[in-house]
Amino acid sequence: MTISSFNRNHGGVDSRERHEGDLGNAMTDVNGVLHINVTVEIGLLDPRLDFIGLALVVHAQVDDLGRFPDIGSRTTGNSGGRLACAVIGRTSSYKVNKAIGKTSPNIVLLFGGILPIILRQTLYHIL
């Protein structure tokens, strides 16, 4: 599930119009590990919703960030098929963010299936 139910077009992180879950393109390191840092601002999401339980999707192709008029660009950024999906979860432990002096729950991604080795060298899109 992506947060596209608000009838917005797909876009990049800095796009004026985008789905709240549009995070742009990312690349894995030499070990095939993806490092991302995402901050969810209060008010960006419907306050009745939470991102816990939503999906993180890894696509096969580079996202065009909704820059073209075709339906594929406006919905998924023509980012191709889904290579892997994860559910966003929360652990019962907490971590301290020293930069802002606050405590927050640890967030985990629960992947199903096996991630293909091709992800180690592929640019991909996270919804």
Domain ranges of the chain: 25-125
The confidence score (pLDDT) of residue 70 equals 93
Give CA–CA dist 27/62, Å, rounded: 10
Residue range 14-26: average pLDDT? 79
User: Is 126 within 8 Å of 23 (Cβ atoms)?
Assistant: yes
Q: For the whole model, what pTM was predicted?
A: 0.59
User: Is 89 within 8 Å of 109 (Cβ atoms)?
Assistant: yes
User: Is 127 within 8 Å of 54 (Cβ atoms)?
Assistant: no
Residue range 25-44: average pLDDT? 70
Amino acid at site 84: A
Over 80: is that where the pLDDT of 80 sits?
Answer: yes
More confident residue, 85 or 93: 85
CA–chain centroid gap for 85, Å, is 10
More confident residue, 44 or 120: 44
3-state secondary structure of 20: coil
